[in-house]
Amino acid sequence: MKQHQIQVRVRYSETDQMSVVYHGNYVPYFEMGRVEWLRNKGISYKSLEESGIALPIVSMTINYKRPARYDDLLTVITRFKSQTSVKIEFDCEIRNDKDELLTTAHFLLVFVDINSGRPIAPPKYVLDILNE
């Protein structure tokens, strides 16, 4: 399965005075989606970190189509796009409970050795899962 989805309810604290989700709050929604995509594939981000590997974002593009609002039930869809040497890419979208497309995003992350801060190849078990 190259795609995974989660649902998130918009909290009041994530909105502005017009009850619209503040643009910076979409990044954590997408992060939850990526972490759960990995978990669903058997890859624990916590275990990666404990083994000395981080997965920071090096590039992201977000396109806002329609606003999400307070108390909306959002579906965050995360799709694995590709993995090459030290990089992994995801395409994501957020839809509301009417299945309207609200936001799209593209993320490029790099596997990094936590101690040195240098890019590294992902562990073999991660590669095996990504290449299924």
Q: Known catalytic residues?
A: 16
Of 108, 82, 92, the C-alpha closest to 8 is: 92
28: Cβ–Cβ under 8 A, 6 or more apart, which residues?
Answer: none
Residues 6+ apart with CB under 8 A from 36: 4, 6, 78
